[in-house]
Structure formats: structure tokens, C-alpha cells
Amino acid sequence: MTVNIPNISHREFENIVVGGGISGAAAAYYLAKSGGQCALIEQFDLNTQASGRNAGSLHGQIQYEGFHQLGETWARDFLPALKFLADSLEIWKGVSAELGVDLEVVQNGGLMIAESKAEFAALKKKVELERTLGIDAQLLSMKEVLEKAPYISTKMLGGAFSPIEGKANPLLAAPAFASAARTHGAQVITGVKVESIERQNEMYLLHTASGEFYCRNLVITANAGINYLTQQFGIEFPISNDPVQVSVSEMIAPMVKHLVYFTGEKLTFKQAKSGSLLIGGGWPAKVGPDGKAVFNPESFRANMRVALKVVPSISKVRIIRTWIGTGNGTPDHRPLIGEVSGYKGLYIGMFPYMGFTAGPLLGRTLANLILNADAERDLTPFALSRFG
């Protein structure tokens, strides 16, 4: 890892963003674009944590696992978070053109496949809730599923379709936002770990091994690192940090146009622009004796079993690698967005599980809070104080 500190005459900024994933990079971009003096600080290299280690799914529907396990009341409470995702997906439509980089954004919709009558009935309720937000979600018969995705097993019963879902390249998005932020005058500093933070008068002092940085407004988007950075203020959030794994196949001819899920067990299934199939769904990796995440063969076998159940035709497709990502969550699956009570100018931004999708809007929302004290939406459902 290379330490990259720009040649600057001082280390005092109006705004500092800590966390070089897509949300932090987007926040730096929108701050700098609007004329705000800004620095983006990342402990490692840009995009090396959750934002760059996911499979690039662009989610726009209530996830079945949460709906099934937590119930319809939870799903209703989740609707503001779903609206946040839907609005972020609108940004994704034009983000490649805005940043001048092809982020390989494709939004052909998502298919959630049901195997049983009970699962199909649950999908019906889920679709009804999604439609209350103006999302044109649809319940599909098996005939309609096969018209969209003829590769799905005929043993399935039906499905649901969300037209706003899709995929993008997670290796490109955060670096593109960071590059655009730099173009607008932001300083991008990598390889620098923030070891502690102090509040001094109206400023925040960031202690690092590479020196001290000062700012008036501090934005923390470091997901699992949020609690480490806020502990000196006696603040802690219930953020989980679970390693998950995703598998990649050899390149095959174009087959899968949609983001595919399965109600029966964990599965996300899609095809990259390169032709490779990306197969995941949140199957856990293992944690080794040294605390580092390692490949879990049991999860791999289970993931492939489910994928074959839903798409039998991939039985002869070779898997060429599996990588490990990070699943950061909150107990209610809703994001943490806002200014920390009692600490003017200290902002937190974290969207659980689907942070890649939410990243562009989360970054813009945090920038708006700083620049205009206006998030352009009601953030009450995402209040930091809801966890005490």
C-alpha cells in the first residue's frame, strides 16, 4: 500500500470525508463540485473494502430474506430505505456520462424467483408494498418468467419483477467519483489511517501516523470502521461486519439480462459485461485463526447447489475463482444518516447490505446536509439516535 499525501501547504480543510468507498468518494465529489473545500482520506487504497469487493448488484426491491424473517411490519418500515435506493438508481442512470467513465451500468430489472405457493404469496404482498412507492413492480406467472428468462428451471412456480434493478462495475465506480472529486479541487489522500479524533473548539482534529488534519465538518463513511472513529466521543452503533463470498465463472455467451434472486435460499445471479456469471447471495466466508476472512468450501457448495437448482443449464460452466467481500449491516436494515447529536459538523453515512446501490445518493445527501443543511428528504427513519 502506498501512502499518497498531496503536496499541500497546510492540512486544514473546511470538510474532510473519511472512507474511500463509493459513498465517501461520492460525498467528496458533490462537496467539491459545489465549491466546498474538501479532502478524502482513506486508510488503504481507494475502493479496497466493501465498495470494491461486492458483485455490483444494483438493488431496488425489498429483499426476500428480510421480508420472510422480519415480517410485513418490518417491510413497511423499510419503505423509506427502499425509496432511497430507488432514487439512487435514478442517479446511476446518468452517472457514467456525468463522471466521464463507463461504469458498465445496466438496468434491465431484477427477477425474484419463487418455488412454492407460500413464497409466491409472499412475493405478491411484497410487490404490493413496492408499488406504493411508484415502483412498477410486477408479479409474474411462470410463463411470464420464462418469457423474460428462459434459462430458469421449469420446476419454479413464478416470480416478481422489479424494472429498476441492474448491475454496475464495482471496480470502477468509487475511483471514478474520487477522480471527479479531484478534478473539482478535492484532495484525495490514501494509505493514511485516522487513529483518533478530537473536538477542539469548532474544529475536528484528526490524528494520523502521517500527521494531523483539521476540519470544520467531518463526514465518516467507513462502514465497519465507524465505531472505531467515534469511540472517543462515547458513540457506538450496532453495525455488523460479516465476510461473504462471491464466485465467478468462465466467460460464456450472453444469457442473463437481469439480476436474479431466489426466495428459497440465498442467491444472486447475474452476468457481467465480460460474459462471466457472478454467483453469490450472502453466503458466509470463514474467519481464520488470524482473524482474516478465508474461503468457505461449505458455503461454496451450497451456493452452487442453489444456483443449479434455479438455473440447471449452468451445470457444465466452470467456476474460475471466488473472492471474499464484506456485508455491513444494521439490525433493522435501514441506513445511518445524519449529524451526530451534540457534535456539530460530525456526520455519519452508512447504508447496510446495499451500500453500493445507495452510494451515489448517500454521498449527495451528506454533501447537501453540509452545504445546505437540507437532505432533500425526511431522514427521520435513518436517524442515528434510533439505536440509543
Spell out the CATH class of 12-53+171-238+332-387.
alpha beta
Residue 112, Ramachandran bin (φ over 0: left; ψ between -120 and 50: alpha; else beta): beta
Confidence (pLDDT) at 209: 87
CATH 3.50.50.60 in the chain is located at 12-53+171-238+332-387
Confidence (pLDDT) at 50: 66
Confidence (pLDDT) at 373: 80
CA proximity to 369, closest of 41, 25, 30:
30
For all residues of the chain together, what is the average pLDDT? 94
Q: Using alpha carbons, list the distances in angstroms from residue 388 to 70, 234, 237, 369, 385.
A: 21, 12, 9, 22, 5
DSSP run (H or E) holding 97 = helix 64-99
Query: Which tens digit of pLDDT belongs to each residue from 111-142?
Result: 999 999 999 999 999 999 999 999 999 999 99
Euclidean distance between CA atoms 193 and 44, whole angstroms: 8
Confidence (pLDDT) at 240: 95
Task: Give the pLDDT mean for 361-372.
Answer: 96
The answer, as to whether pTM is greater than 0.85, is: yes
Task: Compute φ and ψ for 196, nearest 5 degrees.
Answer: -160, 165
Task: Give the pLDDT mean for 91-99.
Answer: 98
Query: Which tens digit of pLDDT belongs to each residue from 18-70?
Result: 999 999 999 999 999 999 999 999 999 887 876 667 889 999 999 999 999 99
Task: Give the pLDDT mean for 176-187.
Answer: 97
Euclidean distance between CA atoms 124 and 339, whole angstroms: 37
- Residue 9 reports pLDDT greater than 70: no
CA proximity to 77, closest of 330, 267, 376:
330
Confidence (pLDDT) at 54: 82
Q: How confident is the model at residue 326 (pLDDT cuts 50, 70, 90)?
A: confident
Confidence (pLDDT) at 48: 80
Per cent of the chain over pLDDT 70 is 97
CATH 3.30.9.10 in the chain is located at 107-164+240-329
Euclidean distance between CA atoms 222 and 75, whole angstroms: 26
Confidence (pLDDT) at 73: 97
Query: Which tens digit of pLDDT belongs to each residue from 295-308?
Result: 999 999 999 999 99
Per cent of the chain over pLDDT 90 is 89
Task: Give the pLDDT mean for 159-183.
Answer: 96
Spell out the CATH class of 107-164+240-329.
alpha beta
**If you ran DSSP here, which 8-state letter would residue 268 be given?**
E
- Residue 370 reports pLDDT greater than 60: yes
